Amino acid sequence: MSNKQRKKSSPAAVRLDLPVEKNQTLELTIEDLSHEGNGVGRYEGYTLFVPGALPGEKVSVKATRLTKKYGYARLLDIVETSADRREPPCPIYKRCGGCTLQHFDYEAQLAFKRKLVEDNLRRIGKIENVIVHPTIGMEDPWRYRNKAQIPIGEEEGGLVGGFYAQRSHEIVNMEKCLIQHEKTDYVIEQVKRIAGKHGVRAYQEETHSGLLRHVVTKIGFATGELMVVLITKEDKIPNQEALIEELVESIPGVKSVVQNVNPKRTNVIFGDVTRVLWGEEYIYDTIGDVKFAISARSFYQVNPVQTERLYGKALEYAALTGEENVIDAYCGIGTISLFLAQKAKQVFGVEIVPDAIEDAKRNAVLNGMENVTFAVGEAERVIPRWYEEGNKADVIVVDPPRKGCDEALLQTILDMKPERVVYVSCNPSTLARDLRVLEDGGYETVEVQPVDMFPHTTHVECVVRLYLKKGKQKASA
């Protein structure tokens, strides 16, 4: 056999070494859930991920995709059912990719999320002896989202709107979504009806034609105020005046109708141009005692009930007495900064997005808080400058995106050596990675509080309390 023939045969040889073949039907016992919420089973030591299967279940599956180390299988039948299995109340649950754990008992979801955090701390962060509290859940884990971003399509000449099917860009039309605020269902239905009536065509990804790309709704849970944002490919909307007039008449409580123009071939929802078509530029909402102005482009936590608990825990972990200077890295529109300002001497917030900082300053004025300073820029550049100017932080709070903290920011924290660090995380794996860096630099992870911001999904947020170990401050002097 030539070398060329040997190279061609080697992939087949690898596949033949697996105990499973593609399209093979087999029976598995599900041992665990992956971070994506898939059941984890093993067949002769080979790991298979099974969407829809739950721990403790014996299932019949069909192998669909195999790699050298693991594979995926489709659930065919449940031979033995978990006591934690529930019937999903959503009629399009099996098609929609919006949430993936409705078939899992809610208390079991909370336990799974706590274990997910513990596993990441141990496996990635090598952090063993730390308190991970039970996940803070919701009394009613439905209808919790104050914001929806609904893609619009066409079906038999009419407009449809919903969420993308799992692993596709096929729009699953919906009449109601059980994790969105109740008003959202009605608003989307009215926009589809009225826009279709006035000749608005849906945007088509394949041909880059049509007009209406997305409808975004924002609702103030505390105020009841409502904003509707129409994301269009072009400036001009057919019969715009009549369309807007009918929308306003048909939607009770609407305070603002906004257009955002996104002419690009992209999956990014918002474009660069935003204009108010009717009503106000902002709606308002409150979290605890703090009031926020929310624009079409503002980032604002989507679950206000759990946000109050999350930020309340961050405030508790900051242990403020009124004498501290606090730095809030990745401050956004100032949500955590303004919570902290209620108890701190001075708060300095930094954020790379200029529009967010303008919102943060506006929110500080709105709440009459004068002990807050906001700056635009990269935290790892701005914070050292503050330090050089004498603004030493007693407490640093970080709330980074899913990718975690920038390495330079972590080094800045280690150089500044604040007595306390509060880390708010939306990704347990990058959290664990960053905690390892902080621990190696002299901090102790004292406790971790998971918070369920997104029931019926695999996402979990955490608040972490860290203290500078005794002696580290003096040693650095």
Domains of the chain: 3-80 (2.40.50.140), 110-139+303-476 (3.40.50.150), 147-287 (2.40.50.1070)
Q: Which of 20-34, 255-269, 376-390 has the lowest mean pLDDT?
A: 376-390
Of the candidate ranges 213-222, 265-274, 379-388, 437-446, the one whose mean pLDDT is the lowest: 379-388
pLDDT band at 3 (very low <50, low <70, confident <90, very high): very low
Q: Buried (b) or exposed (e) across 363-379, using 16+ Cβ within 10 A? A: bbebbebeebbbbeeeb
Dig out the tokens for 399 from the structure.
């709330």
Query: Tell me: the pLDDT tens digits for 37-52?
Result: 999 999 999 999 999 9
Return left, alpha or beta for 473; rule: phi > 0 is left, psi -120 to 50 is alpha, else beta: alpha
Handedness of CA 392, 393, 399, 400 (dihedral sign): positive
CB environment 38-68: b (16+ within 10 A), e (fewer): bbbbebeebbbbbbbbbbbbbbebebeebee
Of residues 99, 177, 426, 462, which has the active-site annotation? 426
Q: Percentage of the chain surpassing pLDDT 90?
A: 85
Give residue 471's pLDDT: 66
Q: Verify whether residue 426 is a known catalytic residue.
A: yes
Q: Which amino acid does the sequence have at 120?
A: N
Nearest Cα to 122, choosing from 428, 403, 424, 426? 428
pLDDT per residue over 430-467, tens digit each? 999 999 999 999 999 999 999 999 999 999 999 999 99
Both tokens of 291, joined, read 């009031």
pLDDT at 451: 98
How far apart (Å, rounded) are the C-alpha atoms in residues 106 and 98?
17
Who has greater pLDDT, 155 or 365? 365
The model's pTM: 0.91
Q: Which amino acid is at 108?
A: A
363/246 Cα distance (integer angstroms) = 32
Helices (runs of H) and strands (runs of E) counted in the chain? 11, 22
Rounded-to-integer distance, Cα 134 and Cα 377, Å? 36
Average pLDDT, the chain: 92
Q: Regarding predicted confidence, which is higher, 475 or 106?
A: 106
Q: At what angle do helices 182-197 and 240-250 cross, to 10 degrees?
A: 150
Tokens of 238: 């057919």
121 touches 127 (CB < 8 A): yes
Distance (Å) of CA 56 to CA 29, 59, 355, 457: 7, 10, 49, 20
Segment 350-378 shows an average pLDDT of 95
